[in-house]
Amino acid sequence: MNIGVMDAQGAGLGQSVIKRLRHEIGDLVYIIALGTNNAATVNMLKAGADLGITGEEDICLFCRENTIDALIGPVGIMCSGGINGEITASISMAVFEMKCIKYIIPLRKHGIYIPGTRELQIKDIINEIVQDIKKTI
């Protein structure tokens, strides 16, 4: 199973997702780190990703030309200007158009609030994602 994990800035969330996937599923998944900047990609590789892709052009090319089973990232990856401006319109469109399941983590930032998620903790959301992926392997 091929899984993309997209993040920006220092990729703290992406690192947490990758570490949890590795701990729970191990090598049954191939993880592609999609970082908007070099630091994000390097940190996700250190967390256990198999491949790293960095920057707008390469992320968009990857999204258009590759098939993966799932993509995981914060809600900001779906929004042009998301994650403090690191998600461009091209990246958000490429993500939206990917033909895979997208696990979107509902962070309550930048004026985005998803009702029903108020009491959820990030670790519980990541656990739910990992459990759902485990069912499909």
Contacts of 103 (CB under 8 A, 6+ apart): 70, 71, 72, 73, 129, 132
Asked if pLDDT for residue 129 goes beyond 70, the answer is: yes
Show the domains of the chain with their CATH numbers: 2-132 (3.40.50)
pTM for the full predicted model: 0.94
pLDDT, tens only, 71-117: 999 999 999 999 999 999 999 999 999 999 999 999 876 677 888 88
pLDDT at 127: 95
> What per-residue confidence (pLDDT) applies to 111?
74
Q: Is 5's pLDDT higher than 70?
A: yes
Handedness of CA 37, 43, 44, 45 (dihedral sign): positive
What pLDDT does residue 110 have?
A: 65
Interval 7-38: pLDDT, tens:
999 999 999 999 999 999 999 999 999 999 99
Question: What span, in angstroms and rounded, lies between the C-alpha atoms of 16 and 65?
Answer: 27
Is the pLDDT score of 3 beyond 80?
A: yes
Residue 87: CB partners within 8 Å, gap ≥ 6? 8, 36, 76, 77, 79, 80, 81
Give pLDDT, residue 115. Answer: 86
pLDDT score at 107: 81
The tokens describing 88, both together, are 């461009």
Structure tokens at 82: 């998301």
